[in-house]
Amino acid sequence: MNKVLNAIGTGFILSAISCFSSYAQQKEKDNLGDKEYIIVKDYKPVLAESFKISDSPEADTSSAALPAQNYRINPKQAETEFETATIKAVKIKDESLSKLYRNHVVLGLGNYSKYNGELYVNSLRSKKGSLGLSAKHLSASPNLKNVGDASYSQNDAEVYGKYFLENVVFSGEADYDRDVVHYYGFNTADTIIDKKSIRQRFSTFAFSAGLASNHSSKDRLNYNTRFGFSNTSDAYEVGENDFSFKGMLGKEMNGKYGSLAVEFNYFKKTPAENETLSLLSNLNRNIVRISPKINLNKDKVRFELGGKVVIEKNLDSDLHLYPDILVSIPIADNILSAFARVDGDVQKNSFRTLTLENPFMNPAVEAKNSNRALSLQGGLTGNFSNTISFSAWAKYSTYKDKALFVTDSVFFNQFDLIYDDVNILDLHAEIGYHTNNTEISFHVDQYSYSTDLQDKVWHMPANEMKLQARYVLRDKINLKAAVYHRGKSYARMIVPNGFISEKINSYIDANLGVEYRYSKILSVYLNMNNLGFSRYQRWYNYPSEKFNVLGGISYSF
């Protein structure tokens, strides 16, 4: 007890001494007296070193071992109270078929004593077949200055029909054409020729019949055969018989479609009244063509591999082998594709085909076929949108015995035929725009030629351009327009010392047509041709009609 009391007393005494000492120091601090303190150097504050916590990682964090996780799901069906309801069947409204009319008549007249008439008669809808006939007439007497009588007429009558069976379609047609022209390409100021002596008339009767498969299954054999006959005659005792047969078989095998086509064509021309034949002359012609082909399409790439074996008889018999290869590769789906093609063929030149191209040809010609030995073509096709399409390509073709029209050495208002080896480069571009009521198309071809014997490729243009447009306004007004440009060409003229080249100027032909539909069965129309009033020449010394119109009505019943 005494020790405790002593300790307490000692602590109390020390506390009192400490308090007194602190009070004495405070008094001394508050009163510094009159002492002076002189600083002899600049003040330099110094911070004590401090420890900072760094945020940079010290350990390697490039990889980490993820802990394995185990999941355990206790399956339990969720309780729902959903009740199904019956959905009513969708009803598709039957679309009513548009009414068809059996008969349609077109009548019209215009300047140059132009008359037009057309008649169409057709059967109505039937699951068994179809039958129809048509008849057309167009004639005019253009009053062209300083040339002969240029009157012409075009007449055509045709009967056609089809008969449907379960898997076969039978078809046939009979056609009669009668066209009249005049060899008016002479100057009436220094030449007088009787009208009857320059009149030319072409009459052609043609018949064809065939049958073709009609089933949708790809693994079944497809076939198509057709037989045809035609007879052409003119006012100069020319006659030409033409027999043809075409057959095709095709079948899909292991995803690849193969086909075989066979064609036979025999045609013979009888000489004209003023035609002189030598002992070596032979007007019989025939062409036999065998064309196997297989389609090897894969991954949107179209590949057709084939060939042609052609046996032809002109003055002699010849055998030709041609490739027939097509490759099409999509660059952008449904937008742009590139294609290339290699092929060749024999081009038929008969009295009928040549007079369709140039009706002013001398009938006393000995036609022979042309050999398109090789054609190389490549380019692009595509679509800018759903309404705009385009294509551009280059094509190089080599021809043996290309038929060229030149002025006849005896009948200077008619054309004779000569043959030469010709190479043709065609640069082609086209673009089209199509909507429900508007159609616009434009194409251009630029040609480059080289010949073997001739100075020029007679009557063949340097370039061609064509712009066509159609617009339908509220199903009432139908507007049609066309602008055609044909570049310069050359004609071969006979002079005392030989031949010279005569330039045929380029020209532009613009046409406009308007049709007003008063009702579904009655309409009126007006066609205006050669709006530029130009007197251009397609064939040398044969000027065209200037501005001409044709207007009339059409009626269905």
Task: Express as a percent the part of the chain with pLDDT over 90.
Answer: 69
The answer to which of 63-72, 396-405, 431-440 has the lowest mean pLDDT is 63-72
pLDDT level of residue 49 (50, 70, 90 thresholds): low
The CATH number linked to 401 is 2.40.170.20
pLDDT for 255 equals: 82
Give a yes or no: residue 20 inside a domain.
no
Give a yes or no: residue 398 inside a domain.
yes
Per the CB < 8 A criterion, the answer to whether 405 and 458 are in contact is yes
The answer to which of 32-41, 88-97, 403-412 has the lowest mean pLDDT is 32-41
Dist CA 369 CA 366 (whole Å): 10
pLDDT level of residue 17 (50, 70, 90 thresholds): very low
Give a yes or no: residue 66 inside a domain.
no
| pLDDT tens digits, 433-451 | 999 999 999 999 999 999 9
Give a yes or no: residue 440 inside a domain.
yes
| Residue 2, Cβ density class (10 Å: 0-12 exposed, 13-18 middle, ≥19 buried) | exposed
Per the CB < 8 A criterion, the answer to whether 372 and 346 are in contact is yes
pLDDT at 459 over 70: yes
pLDDT for 43 equals: 58
Q: Give the pLDDT mean for 223-252.
A: 96
Question: DSSP assignment of 283-305, as one string?
Answer: -EEEEEEEEEEEE--BTTBEEEE
Q: Which long-range contacts (CB under 8 A, 24 or more apart) does 270-274 make?
A: 270/237, 270/238, 270/239, 270/240, 271/237, 271/238, 271/364, 272/234, 272/236, 272/237, 272/238, 272/363, 272/364, 273/236, 273/237, 274/236, 274/364
Return the ∠ at Cα 251 (arms to 249 and 253), rounded to 5°: 150
Q: β-strand 129-140 against 114-122: which pairing, if any? A: antiparallel
Per the structure, the count of domains in the chain is 1
pLDDT level of residue 282 (50, 70, 90 thresholds): confident
Dist CA 495 CA 233 (whole Å): 33
Q: 211 versus 86: which is more confidently predicted?
A: 211
Domain holding 455, by residue range, is 384-557
Dist CA 35 CA 26 (whole Å): 18
Give a yes or no: residue 557 inside a domain.
yes
Q: 200 versus 10: which is more confidently predicted?
A: 200
Give a yes or no: residue 456 inside a domain.
yes
Give a yes or no: residue 81 inside a domain.
no
Give a yes or no: residue 311 inside a domain.
no
> Element (H or E) spanning 354, and its range?
helix 351-357
